[in-house]
Structure 1
Amino acid sequence: MTKRIVLVAAALLSVLLAGCGGGGDGAASVPPPESPASCSVADQRAWLRNYLNEQYLFYANQGTPNEAATSIDAYFQSLLYKPVDRYSYSQPTAQYAQFFTEGRQTGYGYSLTYADAAQTMLKVRYVEPASPVAAAGLQRGETIVSIDGYTPAQIVAGSPAPVTAAGVPRSFTVTNAAGATRSFTVNSADYPLTPVPINTVYSIPAAGGGTAKVGYLLYSQFISGSSAALGAAIDNFRAAGVTELVVDMRYNGGGSTGVARNLASMIGGSALNSQTFAQFRYNDKLSANNFALAFTSAGLPAAPLEGLSRLIFITSPSTASASEILINSLKPFKTVVQIGGTTFGKPYAFQPRESCGTTFSAVNIDTVNAAGAGGFTSGLAPTCMVADDLNHALGDPAEARLAEALGYVSTGACPTGSTIVLFTPAAAKGAPETAFGEVGPKQARVD
């Protein structure tokens, strides 16, 4: 049993290291803790305690172990520094690898959010393009009447339960913008994620006169399988001669910091080569392993875009972790404009650890940019505060957040006159943007 555990852990670590070039980027990788003697409950719990005592960023403030916990995840959660640590989580290793390594997900492919301040109207926020519900015609902005017979209030409370296998039927009743109601049933499936659903170019009036060519990139997951699509998008923008770039990460919960560094390098330009992308800092027991990851021009899926003095990001409370680290990394070098809502607020990263079929993502790294700025646990506040517009498709120039970004290019200011304030439901002109349904983990992992 011990040999099997060691091999699985070593294999997972090698995959993660490969995603970011391992120590080749200057990372002094902290080795995984010694595997548990067995997969018994007692040995797994002892391993978790040792792991967190050694590598957890908040090891000095751990919670009291819940010896009555009925699962390894519940026991893990009891050890965390609450409420400060709202980030650490665990999941089956097969599920972790499926999402972050294989770029696939088992489910139906939808996420939902409230569309009114009273929190009674639940609407479709996002549909994965290659998912079962996409094939059935589910659209962003449609109103949920019921799912498997459950009302919106019951759905928000956690029903129906998430699925982990393909072939499980689920019934939907929805109403479209015209008021027509329809019902359909789909089976869950193992489907490929589409991390770059849209890349396109808009020609609009520029602030100083003439025409601005604005590249628009919708990016939803920092997974290793997204690199080719990101490279194709950057090449498309270069061929079109873009003079401005809007990166829409409103629903991007993060992922690989290696992929984030590569995207930042491509949109930041070759002048950033070898400058510090981010500094990664362990707890005081492991501070000798602290390292900096640099912007690069080597090994990218596309050559860096040149000449962009300003970068515009569309964000929301679902913009998290690696997405936030990317935005923060560019601030010492570029004019960064944020449109939308304040981000989630996760300046931390993980080095996930596997044991007995479970992968634990416990916060073990703090991050700051080249100027030493970090600590954005309250989120990164936007330049122009704009509510999400569920009445228009993503990528539609009339969609409120994209329209605001394009307006900023044309005027050099927030067209609606909004200013930097911390995100609150009232300031966002609507309901809080809590997501329900199939929502990916918020993660910045050091590969």
Structure 2
Amino acid sequence: MKKIFISSVLAIVLLCTSCEKQKSYSIESTINDKLHQFIWNGLNVYYLWQKEVPDLADDKFVNSEDLHFYFRGYSSPEAVFESLLNKPTDRFSWIVEDYIALENSFQGINVSNGMEFGLVQYKNGSNNVYGYVRYVIPNSDAATKAVSRGMLFNNINGSQLTIDNYQALLFSDTSNYIVGFADYNDGNPVSNTTSVSLSKIEIQENPIAITKVFTEGTKKIGYLLYNQFARNYDGQLNAAFANLKSENITELIIDLRYNGGGSVRTATYLGGMITGQFTGQLYSQEVWNDKIRNAFSANSFINNFTDEISNTDVNGTVILKENLNSLGLDRVYFIATYSTASASELVINSLSSYIDVKVVGKTTRGKQVGSITLYDSDNLQRTGNNLNPNHRYAMQPLVFEISNKDNKNYPNGIVPGITLPGVELGEDYNNLGVLGERSDPLLDRTLVYITTGAKSSNNESKTFDFNEIFNSKLATPAKDNMFMDLKK
């Protein structure tokens, strides 16, 4: 790889300007000017659609002063960033004010009261919104106050949730609010007398939420509820597979219904844990912009099945190295919903090129693109020289598209029973059951599918297509991101 690539390109962009342009500004650069320059530099070098954005053209600006003057017409760094995105194609790039919070979020550390929920529009078509509790993080404030999966709420601090106010009521900087619970009422919930005051603090969620084995006749079926591809939990994920392997399971269910993604490397490890017989073969392949592709060898853009975990810190020091606990399966079942995105979709898609993959649930998000974290330093890395001490902004722009070995991905989502074999069935917000138990309709349906092969049931008269508009994970700094290390 060409390690001098980033600094060389930045020098060319900022110093080798068009000889035909002559502009001169006598302005003193501000903190925001430097921040705007960082945004432009990073996107000019790495952004997947750099060529499609006129303001990111290499010859757009004569010099730094020209750039500073141009972006002074924007109200904020966020506005500058948004102006440089390839809309509407780009649905997922974002910028954050605090890269510490972003880095923590990649590790499952967020400011939260522990109540993880989805938000759904009322069935009657009004602007009213209600929340359903998906699960509660152990040892959180919500856990201590008996909040549990399946509870519904429709008001915060006494105000009815609506499409227009849910962001302000649920996701403001306020650390406390009172949740007013409700009864289902055929999808148009009505308030009941139950309420609870919840407080947000910084907590860490273990994404390996449930691991267990079901014995159904002669079949031993492993089950894993996995909620984030967090690299700092790779060792624990591997240990969970060691337990499944010791149980001699013959079938496996990976529940990704609430997993919005995370590390591409961890997604590759998970593929190897499920299989193990394809080590060294192509797992996934990436397409970056022309600048990056021209600067690196073709091997830089492929991810192969591996038989070991080898993780390093930002300084290159090995922090985890161990063999994968692989199951050698030739079939796997996934539970998925619209909240299943990016790295989750990558695992489903990549494995479908090699083994029998079946999906139970609803259409996934359709996020086949990924990002890297860019910092305001000389080489756009956290450890780069002259990391700007005046702010903590970082960018998470889309920089690559990823596909399986057959060059397939699904920007419109993976549809159970259509894109891949499986069963289409949504969650019933009036009957969510208990995660990891047969009372959970999606898990129960998957177990029936495994044991009987049946794709339909007399009990499935509807698939619950209510309009879910948001969920609590999307409000975290990591959101539904699929990311990898910056190429250097």
Would you call these one fold, judging by a TM-score over 0.5?
yes
Give the deviation of 1:124 after TM superposition. 1.9
The more displaced of 314-323 and 39-48 is: 39-48
Judging changes above 3 Å, is the alpha-carbon distance between structure 1 residues 218 and 371 closer, same or farther for their aligned structure 2 residues? same
Report what 1:256 is aligned to: 263
Report what 2:251 is aligned to: 244
After TM superposition, the structure 1 = structure 2 runs for residues 289-300 of structure 1, keeping only pairs within 5 Å, are 289=296, 290-299=300-309
Q: How many residues of Structure 1 are paired with residues of Structure 2 in the alignment?
A: 406
Give the deviation of 1:401 after TM superposition. 1.3
Q: Is the 8 A contact 1:253 1:323 kept in 2?
A: yes
Give the deviation of 1:28 after TM superposition. 8.9
Q: Is the 8 A contact 2:43 2:50 kept in 1?
A: yes
- Cα distance between partner residues in 2 of 1:70 and 1:130: 41
Judging changes above 3 Å, is the alpha-carbon distance between structure 1 residues 335 and 321 closer, same or farther for their aligned structure 2 residues? same
Give the deviation of 1:151 after TM superposition. 1.2
Give the deviation of 1:418 after TM superposition. 12
- Cα distance between partner residues in 2 of 1:115 and 1:387: 15
Report what 1:77 is aligned to: 82
Which residue of the other structure, out of 436, 439, 444, is the alignment partner of 1:403? 444
After TM superposition, the structure 1 = structure 2 runs for residues 183-222 of structure 1, keeping only pairs within 5 Å, are 183-205=195-217, 211-222=218-229
- Cα distance between partner residues in 1 of 2:284 and 2:5: 17
Residue type of the alignment partner of 1:183: S
Residue type of the alignment partner of 2:42: Y
Give the deviation of 1:176 after TM superposition. 6.7
Which residue of the other structure, out of 360, 366, 378, is the alignment partner of 1:345? 366
Question: Is residue 2:281 matched to residue 1:281?
Answer: no
Unmatched 5+ stretches in structure 1: 1-22, 206-210, 420-425
* SS of structure 1 residue aligned to 2:468: coil
Residue type of the alignment partner of 1:358: Y
* SS of structure 1 residue aligned to 2:224: strand
* SS of structure 1 residue aligned to 2:208: coil
Judging changes above 3 Å, is the alpha-carbon distance between structure 1 residues 176 and 228 closer, same or farther for their aligned structure 2 residues? farther
Judging changes above 3 Å, is the alpha-carbon distance between structure 1 residues 134 and 241 closer, same or farther for their aligned structure 2 residues? same
Unmatched 5+ stretches in structure 2: 15-27, 56-69, 186-190, 310-320, 377-390, 417-421
Question: Is residue 2:388 matched to residue 1:386?
Answer: no
Report what 1:170 is aligned to: 177
- Cα distance between partner residues in 1 of 2:282 and 2:30: 41
Q: Is the 8 A contact 1:108 1:187 kept in 2?
A: yes
After TM superposition, the structure 1 = structure 2 runs for residues 3-402 of structure 1, keeping only pairs within 5 Å, are 31=6, 40-62=31-53, 68-91=73-96, 92-101=98-107, 103-109=108-114, 110-114=116-120, 117-118=123-124, 120=128, 121-153=130-162, 157-160=166-169, 162-163=171-172, 168-175=175-182, 181-205=193-217, 211-268=218-275, 270-288=276-294, 289=296, 290-299=300-309, 303-355=324-376, 356-374=391-409, 376-382=410-416, 383-390=422-429, 391=431, 392-402=433-443
TM-score (norm 2): 0.76
Give the deviation of 1:213 after TM superposition. 0.9
Judging changes above 3 Å, is the alpha-carbon distance between structure 1 residues 279 and 364 closer, same or farther for their aligned structure 2 residues? same
- Cα distance between partner residues in 2 of 1:177 and 1:302: 48
Judging changes above 3 Å, is the alpha-carbon distance between structure 1 residues 330 and 185 closer, same or farther for their aligned structure 2 residues? same
Residue type of the alignment partner of 1:388: E
* SS of structure 2 residue aligned to 1:84: coil
Residue type of the alignment partner of 2:44: N
1:6-57 per-residue CA deviation (whole Å, 9 max, x = no partner) reads xxxxxxxxxxxxxxxxx8xxx9997588599987212221232232222111
Give the deviation of 1:155 after TM superposition. 7.5
Q: Is the 8 A contact 2:335 2:360 kept in 1?
A: yes
1:86-139 per-residue CA deviation (whole Å, 9 max, x = no partner) reads 0101122011111114x3111222323227533654322333234321222111
Q: Is the 8 A contact 1:116 1:430 kept in 2?
A: no
Q: Is the 8 A contact 1:156 1:436 kept in 2?
A: no
The more displaced of 50-59 and 173-182 is: 173-182
Q: Is the 8 A contact 1:107 1:189 kept in 2?
A: yes
Q: Is the 8 A contact 1:312 1:336 kept in 2?
A: yes
TM-score (norm 1): 0.82
How much identity, in percent, do the aligned residues show?
27
- Cα distance between partner residues in 2 of 1:97 and 1:227: 16
Largest Rg, 1 or 2:
2
Judging changes above 3 Å, is the alpha-carbon distance between structure 1 residues 71 and 49 closer, same or farther for their aligned structure 2 residues? same
Residue type of the alignment partner of 2:241: I
The more displaced of 36-45 and 129-138 is: 36-45
